[in-house]
Amino acid sequence: MLILGHKNFEVHRKWAYFVLAATILFSLWFIAGWIQTGRWPSGGSLEGLTAGVGAGLIMFFEMFLWPRKTIFRAWRIGRTKYWLKAHIWLGLLCLPLGLLHGGFHFSMANSPLAGMLSWLTLIVVISGATGLYIQNIIPRIMLETLPGETIVNQIPEVLESYRNEVNQMIRETCGLADANTDPTLSGEMSIVSSVKTSGSISGRTMQTHTTYPFIQGCEPLLTFWETYGEPFLKPGKMQSSGLADKKSSEALFQSLSEKIPVEAQNMIDRMKAICDQRRQFDRQLSLHFWLHSWLVGHVAISVALMVVLILHMTLALQYP
């Protein structure tokens, strides 16, 4: 879908044909050698060496993406999109080349180093393809399913402000905080001043504050808040309470709605919206985690691959 979609394929067409052609040509060359000699060309044969050196050079080139993005970043060597395209397609090509060179040797029994090299190459290519998929699909999922997405670092702060808002709303409604005594003023705004500190800077800020009238018979609201709502909105890992799941959350709110007066029903709507937001934040955090952590795995396996490759090359040159 990412590459094979009509529009995307145009951008990748030349690379795709090149990789396909190289794979077919190398395969035919190996098959011809096999037919001629009656056995699969070894890694040291002309075909084997050509494919092996090709795969090895590609692997070094693939690794170069890392210093290019870090040490040589300021040098601006070529445009990022061309590097990434070359990285993807040459990375894919090194798999058939490596496997032809090693005679599809995956067994660790005969030659552990060669077996390890084949496995690592396969895993690096699969992790790269998976990462490419993740990089393309996750931002789309976020855009389509998380309308309440916010800056990840600010999630704890936003949650804390929601928690304070609902806490204040419920305590005022239940008569536990300085509440508005006129029921017609429900939802009225007042201005409050407070001192806020951010790092070393501290100052007085003015904030709008919605006031809520005391409503009799709202005790179930307070119990619900203290049992489910408050712990659920705590920043940090989401509690696995009944509110974590949309369906059971609906059921809990429905049963609460039957226990409290009609005038307090709008509290439920606000709490529901905030709990929904909390679930979205949690989903955003887990998608964000996968979006960024796959690369750590890809790079770690790539480094292991390079270590084994260098060992393999050293031994092959020492004991040809």
List interacting residues with ligand HEM (CB under 6 A): 59, 62-63, 65-66, 69, 84, 87-88, 91-92, 94, 121, 124-125, 128-129, 131-132, 135, 295, 298-299, 302, 305
Distance CA(20)–CA(40), nearest Å, equals: 21
Q: What is the nearest approach in angstroms of ligand HEM to the Cβ of residue 130? A: 8
Nearer to ligand HEM, 39 or 73 (CB): 73
C-alpha neighbours within 13 Å on the C-beta side of residue 92: 18
Q: Which of 19, 41, 45, 20 is nearest to 30 (CA)?
A: 41
Nearer to ligand HEM, 142 or 299 (CB): 299
Q: Are 287 and 141 in contact (CB under 8 A)?
A: yes
Q: Closest residue to ligand HEM, Cβ-based?
A: 128
> According to DSSP H, which parts of 38-150 are helical?
46-63, 65-69, 80-102, 112-145
CA angle 32, 35, 36 (to 5 degrees): 85
Q: Are 208 and 190 in contact (CB under 8 A)?
A: yes
Q: What is the nearest approach in angstroms of ligand HEM to the Cβ of residue 318? A: 24
Nearer to ligand HEM, 34 or 133 (CB): 133
Nearer to ligand HEM, 92 or 169 (CB): 92
Q: What is the nearest approach in angstroms of ligand HEM to the Cβ of residue 3? A: 9
Nearer to ligand HEM, 275 or 305 (CB): 305
Question: Which uninterrupted H or E stretch holds 299?
Answer: helix 265-318
Nearer to ligand HEM, 65 or 146 (CB): 65
Phi-psi region of 42 (alpha: psi -120 to 50; beta: other; left: phi over 0): beta
Q: What is the nearest approach in angstroms of ligand HEM to the Cβ of residue 57? A: 11
Structure-block tokens of residue 304: 């292991």
What letter represents residue 69's amino acid? Answer: K
Q: What's phi and psi for 61, nearest 5 deg? A: -60, -40
Nearer to ligand HEM, 185 or 303 (CB): 303
173-185 as b/e, with b when 16 or more CB fall inside 10 Å?
bbeeeebbeeeee
The alpha carbon of 311 is separated from its chain's Cα centroid by a whole number of angstroms, namely 33
Nearer to ligand HEM, 125 or 267 (CB): 125
Q: What is the nearest approach in angstroms of ligand HEM to the Cβ of residue 24? A: 18
Residues present in the chain in total: 320
Q: What is the nearest approach in angstroms of ligand HEM to the Cβ of residue 142? A: 17
Q: What is the nearest approach in angstroms of ligand HEM to the Cβ of residue 319? A: 25
**Computed over its alpha carbons, how large is the radius of gyration of the chain?**
30
